Amino acid sequence: MRFPQHPGKYARPALFTAKHFFDYLERSGAPRPVAPPQVVLVYMGRLVTRAAARWGARAPARPPVGVREFAVLGRGDRAIGLAEVRGVGGPALSVTVEELAAAGTRRFLSVGYAGSLVPALRTGAPVLCTAAIRDEGTSYHYARPARWAYPTPGLNRELFARLRRAGVPVVHGRSWTIDAPYRETVEELRSVRRLGATTVEMEASALFVMARALGVEAAALFAVSDRLDERGWRPRFFDAFGPLETLLDGARDALRALPAPGPRARRARSRPGRGSGGKVQ
């Protein structure tokens, strides 16, 4: 059986989109959703509420659909949204990204946990993803099959430089994005390490491919929260929460220093272009 079952579907228009959903909301008397030009995506509501208190961010009167907790820092083209995705993995992310993009977001930065696949990455280490292995299903509905997905190159370069300049010891790294965390095998682990993957998580490749298809920018930052190797799994999520908050604050500062994102590009249907190198430094 092929996956997806109708190859080439990524080149065909969707039957309905997030804009059609928004049209329905308006016809039903609800206001049309509006989202900031830049949004940081996180996967725990506690991160949003705690960061909003630290940042002095506000809860909008009309939060966008497709998210749970939501806060906004700044106004106009300089506004930055902080959104909790409704779930984890590519399927949940696709709904959030599609709806925020339709509501006006042109730059996405995912900030979340990732497992370490190499000894050099210890608990709490900050990693900027330079490429992600597409071992999830969502991205194949947006772009032709390929092994790798890539973030927006210019955005990645700027984020890395500004985070380093601010004293955040971020490193580059390739990641393995997989939908089924309870079905990771030793054979897969060894295979992805040979390809240069240093982390494992559930969203990056789907985000990168969706962003290119939608004509928006995207990047992903991780804080190492657990370790996976031939000896098994060693979780340290509670120890990584503080470093994740620190990374989130660094991401906010980096985005505030960047020029406002430009208009959405025309929908791209070609294979994603290559990003910067993916070595842990």
DSSP string, 174-223: EEEEES-GGG--HHHHHHHHHTTEEEEESSHHHHHHHHHHHT-EEEEEEE
Question: Residue 250 contacts by C-beta under 8 Å, 6 or more apart in sequence?
Answer: 126, 163, 166, 168, 170
Amino acid 2: pLDDT: 79
At 165, list the tokens.
């300049």
> What integer is the mean pLDDT of 261-268?
72
Domain 17-257 has what CATH class? Answer: alpha beta
Contact indicator for 39, 96 with CB cutoff of 8 Å? no
Ordered by start, the domain boundaries in the chain are: 17-257
- Is the pLDDT confidence value at 196 over 80? yes
pLDDT of residue 264: 80
Q: Which tens digit of pLDDT belongs to each residue from 30-63? A: 888 999 999 999 999 999 999 999 999 998 877 7
Residues 125-173: tens digit of each pLDDT: 999 999 999 999 999 999 999 999 999 999 999 999 999 999 999 999 9
Q: Residue 24 — pLDDT band, cuts 50, 70, 90? A: very high
